[in-house]
């Protein structure tokens, strides 16, 4: 049987181990918290990378669309010119030719305005996504 004095002695002799255990437990908690923070950061970085990839894909798609639009515009312009020359060849009156050219210029301006509006809309959509 322990006397009260010997019990106090045992408790006193165990005190360093108990404080060490407490310090160890605290250290483990801190490590776990750091690991959780690290995992969260990695997840955020992964999401950021995915967003960047999506934006790059969108930019590539937009560039392809712009290239296609430019090609279409060139084709349409060439066709307009060809038609206007054919039409002008049948018209001998200079005033008539001038009206034809003005109409052609208006059509080209309208085409360019439409394409600019489309590009602006795409840029706005891209900004909203990002």
| pTM of the predicted model over 0.85 | no
Average pLDDT over residues 3-10: 54
pLDDT at position 103:
84
Cα–Cα distances in angstroms (integers) from residue 118 to residues 62, 97, 112, 113, in the given order? 10, 32, 10, 9
Check residue 55 and report its DSSP letter. Answer: H
pLDDT in tens, 12-64: 555 666 677 778 888 889 999 999 999 999 999 999 999 999 989 988 998 89
**CB–CB of 125/117 below 8 Å?**
no
> Domain coordinates of the chain in residue numbers?
4-129
The predicted-structure confidence for 50-62, as pLDDT tens digits, reads as follows 999 998 998 899 8
CB burial of 35-44 (b: ≥16 within 10 Å; e: otherwise) equals eeeeeeeeee
């Amino acid at each position: 049987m322990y006397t009260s004095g010997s019990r106090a002695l045992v408790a006193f002799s165990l005190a360093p181990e108990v404080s060490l255990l407490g310090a160890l437990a605290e250290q483990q908690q801190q490590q776990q918290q750091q690991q959780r923070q690290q995992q969260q950061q990695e997840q955020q970085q992964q999401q950021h990378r995915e967003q960047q990839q999506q934006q790059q894909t969108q930019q590539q798609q937009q560039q392809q669309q712009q290239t296609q639009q430019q090609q279409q515009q060139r084709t349409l312009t060439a066709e307009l010119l060809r038609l206007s020359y054919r039409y002008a060849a049948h018209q001998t009156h200079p005033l008539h030719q001038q009206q034809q050219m003005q109409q052609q210029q208006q059509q080209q301006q309208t085409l360019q305005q439409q394409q600019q509006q489309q590009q602006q809309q795409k840029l706005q959509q891209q900004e909203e996504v990002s």
